[in-house]
């Protein structure tokens, strides 16, 4: 069926579908889908939306309800409320806004205030952080056969910059570049890169949509190189880009010459087992030397370059550049609160914050100080919150996959509170009574008796939890009563 015929059928079917009852809509929809070949969900949207108020291909712009002023005010209120969740914050918004306005921390126009007080928890959740704005990118190119990898830092993602990176990789690669296989991003699928590959005689292919395994070689290097050495932080600006490019300059030598990797040779499934066999671990440099297609001149150049490299010196330079790069990590903003201690004397001016200049909710860009195990201690220019220092990150194992984590106040002592509902709360008094009568009864035997008495309530996977409960009871029993005497024999879980 052609497009015009489908449009005519839609014009006839849509009014009938919209006026039909719920039971009558299903056969109409089935007939429409079978005739046109449309996907069921797409057919429903056509039948519901006809006649259309916009031309085909034109997307209707949604009217913005919450302006930037409302969003900024919401963030201020949320931070003043110690960043509680939206379901707790929204019911308390009127009182919180009034308190902040009373002391001069917030000033809103009547329309903006009305919008703020009518906001829903779901909308509040959507006002969080996103990946919009400018941040650094990394282009990763990996040779399928040898695993030789080149990483290039990008200040922005653009088709012209991708062509420059491909040209740079061609100059750095020890072997000729024959083909490119990319993902489906717009920075790759464009006429600029296509014309460049055509002019250089490069084969240009792309992966299948929504098939990430087609790019498994690059995805593996994203984790083993970029995420392991750079981390998960966000970096912005020209200077961090320069440091990142310098880091990749040393990293390419260290990884390609001194980091062996395994390559999968075969994979066979036997029932539920998958048997994988790998070759002997080799560096990309060693694989190039063993390749028959690489010329003798190229192998000689690689050997000379390998002889001039000091792996420990390379690693030291990489670690120094890591520290420099991590100092530029974008952390967000912290609240600078000027609150006097209860015992400190305060002046009349300090006692009334609305009369002071400035705002106690003024936020500053936080600067990270790397801490232990990839964490960061944030400060606002008034000194670090944590005593962790940069020297504590020098351990090799503490530099991998860096990600800033929320600083938590250490809790002295053992955790006494529960993190989930106790599954044995209802039957434990009865089980405890049984233990008091027969303290030597094994936890497993008692658990099986509990299962028989309460069928379909407890599964075998909960045995370990029950054993911990029994062990805790016995420790308390021995501490208070000493070793028990010969117990009396009573039926298990007597009713």
Render pLDDT for 237-282 as a digit per residue (tens, 0 to 9). 889 999 999 999 999 999 999 988 888 889 999 888 999 998 888 8
Cα 152 from Cα 324, distance rounded (Å): 18
Could you state, in order of their start, the residue ranges of all structural domains in the chain? 3-49, 68-125, 137-323, 331-340+349-398, 428-481
Task: Classify strands 333-335 and 363-365 as parallel, antiparallel or unpaired.
Answer: antiparallel
Kindly tell me if the per-residue pLDDT of 399 is higher than 50: yes
Using an 8 Å Cβ cutoff, are 354 and 102 in contact? yes
Contacts of the segment 7-15: beta carbons below 8 A, 24+ positions apart: 9/35, 9/36, 10/36, 10/46, 10/47, 10/50, 11/50, 13/47, 14/46, 14/47, 14/50, 14/51, 15/50
137-323: CATH number: 3.30.420.10
Find the mean pLDDT for residues 410-438.
Answer: 80
pLDDT band of 376, cuts 50, 70, 90: very low
pLDDT band of 81, cuts 50, 70, 90: confident
Kindly tell me if the per-residue pLDDT of 411 is higher than 80: no
Count CA atoms within 13 Å of residue 401 on its CB side.
Answer: 5
Residue 380's pLDDT is 35
Kindly tell me if the per-residue pLDDT of 463 is higher than 50: yes
Would you tell me the crossing angle of helices 428-437 and 463-481 to the nearest 10 degrees?
Answer: 50
- Give ∠ CA 419-421-427 in degrees, rounded to 5: 135
CA distances (Å), origin 407, targets 130, 160, 242, 278: 21, 41, 30, 41
Using an 8 Å Cβ cutoff, are 334 and 377 in contact? no
Find the mean pLDDT for residues 147-176.
Answer: 90
Residue 360's pLDDT is 31
Higher pLDDT, 404 or 157: 157
Residue 396's pLDDT is 54
- What's the mean per-residue pLDDT of the chain? 79
Element (H, E) at 274: strand 273-278
Higher pLDDT, 356 or 322: 322
Cα 192 from Cα 198, distance rounded (Å): 10
Kindly tell me if the per-residue pLDDT of 294 is higher than 80: yes
Find the mean pLDDT for residues 358-363.
Answer: 36
Cα 33 from Cα 43, distance rounded (Å): 7
Kindly tell me if the per-residue pLDDT of 199 is higher than 80: yes
pLDDT band of 202, cuts 50, 70, 90: very high
Cα 242 from Cα 418, distance rounded (Å): 48
> What 3-state class would DSSP assign to 205?
strand
**Cα 33 off chain centre by:** 39
Kindly tell me if the per-residue pLDDT of 392 is higher than 80: no
Find the mean pLDDT for residues 122-150.
Answer: 82
Peptide bond into 51 cis (omega under 30): yes
- When mean pLDDT is compared across 255-269, 278-292, 371-385, the lowest value belongs to 371-385
Kindly tell me if the per-residue pLDDT of 179 is higher than 90: yes
Residue 26's pLDDT is 92
Residue 58's pLDDT is 54
Beta bridge partners of 151: 140
Cα 76 from Cα 67, distance rounded (Å): 15
What string of DSSP letters covers 81-102? TTS--HHHHGGGHHHHHHHHHH
Kindly tell me if the per-residue pLDDT of 379 is higher than 50: no
Using an 8 Å Cβ cutoff, are 152 and 139 in contact? yes
Higher pLDDT, 409 or 334: 409
User: Would you call 223 exposed, middle or buried from its count of C-beta atoms within 10 A (0-12, 13-18, 19+)?
Assistant: exposed
Cα 235 from Cα 36, distance rounded (Å): 49
Cα 454 from Cα 448, distance rounded (Å): 10
Kindly tell me if the per-residue pLDDT of 365 is higher than 50: no
Residue 387's pLDDT is 33
Higher pLDDT, 65 or 454: 454
Cα 349 from Cα 345, distance rounded (Å): 12
Using an 8 Å Cβ cutoff, are 104 and 93 in contact? no
Cβ-proximal residues to 173 (8 Å cutoff; 6+ apart), any chain: 143, 148, 150
Would you tell me the crossing angle of helices 40-49 and 22-36 to the nearest 10 degrees?
Answer: 120
Cα 206 from Cα 486, distance rounded (Å): 77
Cα 492 from Cα 494, distance rounded (Å): 6
Cα 38 from Cα 179, distance rounded (Å): 37
Cβ-proximal residues to 133 (8 Å cutoff; 6+ apart), any chain: 236
Find the mean pLDDT for residues 334-349.
Answer: 35
Kindly tell me if the per-residue pLDDT of 37 is higher than 80: yes
Find the mean pLDDT for residues 85-113.
Answer: 88
Could you read off the pLDDT of 4-18 as tens digits, one per residue?
888 889 999 999 999
Residue 416's pLDDT is 65
Higher pLDDT, 357 or 310: 310
Using an 8 Å Cβ cutoff, are 113 and 155 in contact? no
Higher pLDDT, 24 or 415: 24
Residue 131's pLDDT is 58
User: Whole-prediction pTM value?
Assistant: 0.50
Sign of the Cα torsion 34, 38, 41, 43 reads negative
Residue 345's pLDDT is 37
Residue 132's pLDDT is 59
């Amino acid at each position: 069926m052609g497009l015009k015929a489908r449009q005519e059928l839609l014009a006839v079917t849509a009014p009938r579908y919209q006026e039909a009852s719920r039971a009558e809509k299903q056969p109409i929809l089935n007939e429409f889908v079978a005739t046109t070949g449309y996907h069921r969900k797409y057919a429903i949207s056509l039948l519901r939306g006809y006649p259309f108020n916009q031309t085909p291909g034109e997307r209707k712009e949604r009217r913005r309800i919450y302006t930037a002023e409302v969003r900024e005010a919401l963030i201020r209120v949320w931070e003043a409320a110690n960043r509680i969740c939206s379901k707790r914050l929204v019911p308390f918004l009127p009182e919180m806004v009034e308190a902040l306005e009373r002391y001069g921390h917030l000033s809103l126009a009547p329309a903006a205030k009305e919008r703020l007080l009518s906001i829903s928890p779901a909308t509040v959740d959507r006002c969080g952080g996103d990946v919009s704005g400018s941040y650094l990118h990394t282009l990763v190119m990996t040779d399928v056969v040898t695993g030789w990898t080149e990483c290039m830092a990008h200040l922005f993602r653009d088709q012209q910059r991708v062509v420059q990176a491909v040209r740079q990789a061609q100059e750095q690669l020890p072997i000729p570049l024959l083909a490119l296989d990319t993902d489906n991003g717009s920075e790759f699928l464009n006429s600029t890169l296509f014309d460049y590959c055509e002019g250089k005689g490069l084969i240009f292919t792309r992966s299948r949509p929504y098939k990430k395994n087609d790019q498994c070689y690059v995805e593996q290097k994203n984790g083993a190189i970029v995420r392991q050495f750079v981390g998960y932080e966000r970096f912005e600006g020209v200077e961090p880009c320069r440091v990142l490019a310098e880091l990749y300059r040393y990293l390419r030598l260290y990884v390609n010459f001194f980091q062996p990797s395994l390559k999968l040779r075969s994979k066979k499934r036997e029932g539920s087992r998958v048997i994988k066999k790998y070759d002997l671990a080799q560096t990309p440099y060693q694989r190039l030397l063993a390749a028959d297609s690489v010329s003798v001149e190229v192998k000689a150049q690689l050997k000379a370059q390998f002889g001039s490299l000091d792996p420990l010196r390379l690693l030291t330079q990489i670690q120094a550049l890591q520290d420099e790069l991590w100092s530029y990590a974008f952390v967000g903003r912290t609240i600078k609160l000027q609150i006097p201690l209860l015992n400190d004397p305060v002046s009349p001016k300090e006692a009334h914050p609305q009369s002071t200049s400035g705002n106690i909710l003024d936020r500053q860009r936080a600067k990270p100080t790397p801490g232990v195990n990839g964490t960061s201690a944030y400060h606002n220019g008034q000194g670090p919150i944590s005593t962790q220092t940069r020297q504590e990150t020098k351990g090799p194992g503490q530099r991998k996959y860096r990600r800033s984590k929320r600083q938590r106040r250490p809790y002295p002592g053992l955790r006494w509170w529960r993190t989930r509902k106790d599954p044995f709360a209802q039957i434990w008094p009865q089980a405890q009574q049984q233990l008091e009568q027969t303290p030597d009864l094994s936890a497993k035997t008692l658990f099986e008796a509990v299962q028989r008495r309460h069928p379909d309530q407890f599964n075998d996977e909960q045995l370990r939890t029950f054993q911990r409960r029994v062990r805790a009871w016995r420790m308390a029993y021995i501490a208070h009563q000493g070793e028990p005497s010969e117990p009396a024999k009573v039926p298990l879980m007597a009713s």
